[in-house]
Amino acid sequence: MISISGGKECRNKVVFAYDDKPINIKGVEQTYYTLDRSLNSINNIYIDNNFYVIIGLGSYKEFNIKKMKSVLAKSIKCMKKNNMIKLHININLFIKRYGEDCLFHVVEGIKLGSYEFYGYKKDRKEFNYNAYLSGISDDNTQHIQELIIEAENIVDGVILARDMVNAPANKLTPELFSEEVLSLGRKAGFVVDILEVDALEKLNMNAFLTVGKSSGNAPKLIVMRYNGDDTSEKVTGLIGKGVTCDTGGYCLKPGETMAGIKGDMAGGAAVVGAIYALAMNKVKANVVGVVPACENRISRESFIPGDVIDSMSGKTIEIINTDAEGRLILADAVTYAIEKEHADKVIDIATLTGVVVKALGFTTAGVLSNNNDFFNDFKNAYKTSGEQYWRFPIYDEYRDLIKSDIADIKNMGTDYLGTITAGLFIESFVKDYPWIHLDIAGTAWVKPPIFEYQSEGATGAGVTTLYYLFGIGEK
């Protein structure tokens, strides 16, 4: 729990040290020059029945929001290591520099710093704590506490996404995935429909079914509707790839990547986490989330290279590679969002291509878009969230790379431009609607963690930016 009241008697305190500024702790005036002040350095001092955690900020001039999240995450990890359940943190330094707008990142650093995937151990012990924030004007405490609650709901969406992506494939089959979303919908107040195979066949969602029929675990189309703005009929579609187990099919993944086949539904998890946060905070927006949940396995029913399959749009698709299955299911999901849910614009998000990592690494996700105004709205959202994205170019000659001689389109181009052509495959199904494609294959999973507010495994990539695309909520 994070609050701004009740912490006056807390004897576990965080103090931040930077440059050559004195540390405001009685009894250490003569020793503060010797303390390590480098970023995320830790010094513990016990004086007068108070336990002080002194965390280095490094150079205050070079300090930024990302580093602020890092030191706050570090403070909670230190709290956990020392078996504390209460911690007092004075954030006046951050409020002075960044204003109230930094509160989301304060909460994000604290909550994500405490995150751990507890898994399925019999004797697991979850870490429950109370973090008390001070250094905030007494004239504004109610408003600040409301902002903190709102931020906690957003970060809870990130944590939900992390938990889903970290779950093994046998613990998050398409059916279990859909049951989890139904439960979240009841809790947060958004409508959930689950479309089964019979309904998918009637809709001619053959691209999705082609992938899903490879497994004994039947595919499910998870549809989430959050209607928070009754003054508008406009709806934004969020479409997330939901492959809960991806072997690669007959184009089998190499052995060294097999451990990650459970996480190919990170895009779907991001959509779920974002809609959960939007609903919890009653944001004034209308959003439909569509997650095609399925498995891509090897069986007698699996599709193979050389096949030509149909899609909901009516376009035929030549299969070049069975491990390029994500774009197939997204093609039908995008078509569904536009034709059946009447989305006015769409964003798809997926762990779509490994080559995006070669281009952007593990801290920046790739973006394609056919609409500058829509992209600029998205850019404002990721500037607010602090996530990093990079927009790739689109040229007509790139589209030529996925033209097929025997079908309307093929599901893979050449050995180069793989991230761009994968996105352009999806673009061919959005008609002229404003569209953004997010490839989070590099940012959805980290091993080892890059920042203190990450833990090994899922990051919850995309949730906060998708949330901030719609605003901060109305009370």
Indicate whether 393 belongs to any domain. yes
Residues 93, 208: one domain? no
Residues 109, 171: one domain? no
Indicate whether 123 belongs to any domain. no
Contact between residue 292 and residue 390 where contact means Cβ atoms under 8 Å apart: no
Residues 15, 86: one domain? yes
User: Which alpha helices (DSSP H) does 355-429 contain, by range?
Assistant: 355-360, 372-385, 396-399, 418-427
Q: What is the CATH number of the domain that holds 369?
A: 3.40.630.10
pTM: 0.95
Residues 80, 163: one domain? no
Residues 167, 98: one domain? no
241 assigned binding-site residue: yes
Indicate whether 171 belongs to any domain. yes
Helix, strand, or coil here: 402?
helix
163 assigned binding-site residue: no
For residue 380, what are the domain limits? 153-468
Cα 173 off chain centre by? 20
Q: What is the CATH number of the domain that holds 11?
A: 3.40.220.10
Domain boundary among 60, 84, 114: 114
Instruction: Report how many domains make up the chain.
Output: 2
Residues 90, 196: one domain? no
State the residue for tokens 């029929």.
Answer: 213
Catalytically active residues, by annotation: 253, 327
Tell me how many degrees the CA angle 369-373-376 measures, rounded to the nearest 5: 80
Domain boundary among 114, 142, 161: 114
First to last CA, the chain: 21
Total number of residues shown for the chain: 475
CA distance readout (Å), 136 to 89, 141, 235: 11, 7, 38
Residues 18, 74: one domain? yes
256 assigned binding-site residue: no
Residues 335, 408: one domain? yes
Indicate whether 35 belongs to any domain. yes
Cα radius of gyration (the chain): 24
Indicate whether 167 belongs to any domain. yes
456 assigned binding-site residue: no
19 assigned binding-site residue: no
Residues 86, 161: one domain? no
Indicate whether 146 belongs to any domain. no
Residues 431, 380: one domain? yes
Indicate whether 132 belongs to any domain. no
| Cα–Cα nearest to 457, from 258, 268, 178, 259 | 259
User: What is the 8-class DSSP label of residue 238?
Assistant: E
Residues 82, 158: one domain? no
Residues 101, 188: one domain? no
Strands of 169-307, DSSP E: 191-195, 220-227, 236-240, 242-246, 286-296
Q: How far is it, in rounded angstroms, from Cα 69 to Cα 378? A: 22
Q: What string of pLDDT tens digits covers the 475 residues of the chain? A: 898 876 777 889 898 988 877 777 776 655 555 677 889 998 888 888 888 888 999 999 999 999 999 999 999 999 888 888 899 999 999 999 999 889 999 999 999 999 999 889 888 777 888 999 988 887 778 889 999 999 999 999 999 999 999 999 999 999 999 999 999 999 999 999 999 999 999 999 999 999 999 999 999 999 999 999 999 999 999 999 999 999 999 999 888 777 789 999 999 999 999 999 999 999 999 999 999 999 999 999 999 999 999 999 999 999 999 999 999 999 999 999 999 999 999 999 999 999 999 999 999 999 999 999 999 999 999 999 999 999 999 999 999 999 999 999 999 998 899 999 999 999 999 999 999 999 999 999 999 999 999 999 999 999 999 999 997 543 3
Label residue 431 left, alpha or beta by phi (over 0 means left) and psi (-120 to 50 means alpha): left
Indicate whether 215 belongs to any domain. yes
Domain boundary among 114, 143, 176: 114
